[in-house]
Amino acid sequence: MAQIIDGKAISQTIKDEVKQEVQELSAQGIPVTLAVIQVGEDPASTVYVNNKKKACAYTGIRSLAYHLPENTGQDELLDLIGQLNEREDVNGILVQLPLPAGMDEDAVIEAISPKKDVDGFHPQSVGALCIGKPGFLPCTPAGIIEILKRSGIDPAGKECVMIGRSNIVGKPMALLLLRENGTVTVAHSRTADLKEVSRRADILVVATGKAKMITAEYVKPGAAVIDVGMDRDENNRLCGDVDFEAVSGIAGAITPVPGGVGPMTIAMLMKNCVRAARMQNAAEKDS
């Protein structure tokens, strides 16, 4: 039976570390503030935004919530981002995605100052990751690296297979595994013989959005299996992209859904906010 990696416990440890850092910064007169913008009434976005506000409250990060109506014009949203970019008391800016139809998400992401891009989606952050320069890392892949490190799983020299190549998970995850000196293969829907490719993995990360598609046949005995999926099974229960029951019998370690990767994303967002505050403060002192 595989070691079940407790992402909830790891994320709690990270939030407690962040809380400590926020207290230390506050004692130095450096408060940490995150601005969260939601446009429209998408119910899933409302849940995510509320969870982010709760994590801010827990860690001592001040959150400024901007909930704009569905019919907000793109210029109005860009104006708000522009104002938040200028405000010295705002360290991080997050626009909850998806945006209502008709808005240009790329233009909105690009409007956020890279210095305040705590989601790590700005092209400058993505480019920095690609060429190994400092920048904000996207929270879900960064959270997976933390999970691996804190579980004693080192990607260095290992065969790492990333199934999925999205901009928010698959591609940055592959780059981070490469940065950790893994030998990385990226698989996707056009990969020939996915089972054969997947079975090479010492570390298998799955982000396909296809409920329970990774069965035991895709997994090398003893592999570490990280399940990013947040799907619904035939009984409408939350499940991952990995068939947990089957794969936990063969893997060496596995993240469950829920309670694996999911809780890490917000913990890493909190970490990015602290980093933003530190960097902005250091830049202010230098100037």
Can residue 168 be called a binding residue for ligand NAP (CB under 6 A)?
yes
Is 271 catalytic? The answer is: no
Can residue 166 be called a binding residue for ligand NAP (CB under 6 A)?
yes
On whether the CB atoms of residues 193 and 182 are closer than 8 A, the answer is no
Can residue 170 be called a binding residue for ligand NAP (CB under 6 A)?
yes
Eight-state DSSP code of residue 2: P
Can residue 43 be called a binding residue for ligand NAP (CB under 6 A)?
no
On whether the CB atoms of residues 243 and 214 are closer than 8 A, the answer is yes
On whether the CB atoms of residues 25 and 31 are closer than 8 A, the answer is yes
Can residue 17 be called a binding residue for ligand NAP (CB under 6 A)?
no
On whether the CB atoms of residues 90 and 117 are closer than 8 A, the answer is no
Stretch that binds ligand NAP, among 38-46, 98-106, 201-209, 214-222 (CB under 6 A): 201-209
Stretch that binds ligand NAP, among 21-29, 32-40, 229-237, 278-286 (CB under 6 A): 229-237
Q: CA 164, 165, 171: angle at the middle one, nearest 5? A: 125
Strand order in the sheet with 183-187: 3-4, 253-254, 224-227, 203-206, 159-163, 183-187
Q: Which of 163, 214, 223, 274 is the binder for ligand NAP (CB under 6 A)?
A: 163
Residue the block writes with tokens 């967002």: 269
Is 52 catalytic? The answer is: yes
Question: Residue 66 forms beta bridges with which residues?
Answer: 37
Q: Which of 61, 81, 160, 194 is the binder for ligand NAP (CB under 6 A)?
A: 194
Size of the site for ligand NAP (CB under 6 A): 26
Looking at 15, 38, 96, 243, which residue is catalytic? 96
| Integer Cα distance of 51 and 54 in angstroms | 5
Stretch that binds ligand NAP, among 29-37, 85-93, 168-176, 278-286 (CB under 6 A): 168-176
On whether the CB atoms of residues 142 and 148 are closer than 8 A, the answer is no
Can residue 190 be called a binding residue for ligand NAP (CB under 6 A)?
yes
On whether the CB atoms of residues 225 and 251 are closer than 8 A, the answer is yes
Can residue 147 be called a binding residue for ligand NAP (CB under 6 A)?
no
Q: Which of 110, 231, 252, 278 is the binder for ligand NAP (CB under 6 A)?
A: 231
Q: Which of 59, 91, 140, 272 is the binder for ligand NAP (CB under 6 A)?
A: 140
Can residue 188 be called a binding residue for ligand NAP (CB under 6 A)?
yes
Can residue 229 be called a binding residue for ligand NAP (CB under 6 A)?
yes
Q: Would you say how long the chain is, in residues?
A: 287
Residue type at 94? L
Distances (CA, A) of 167 to 68, 91, 161, 242: 26, 24, 16, 20
Can residue 38 be called a binding residue for ligand NAP (CB under 6 A)?
no
Nearer to ligand NAP, 90 or 163 (CB): 163
Binding interface with ligand NAP (CB under 6 A): 140, 163-166, 168-170, 187-191, 194, 207-210, 213, 228-231, 261-262, 265
Residues tagged active-site: 52, 96, 119
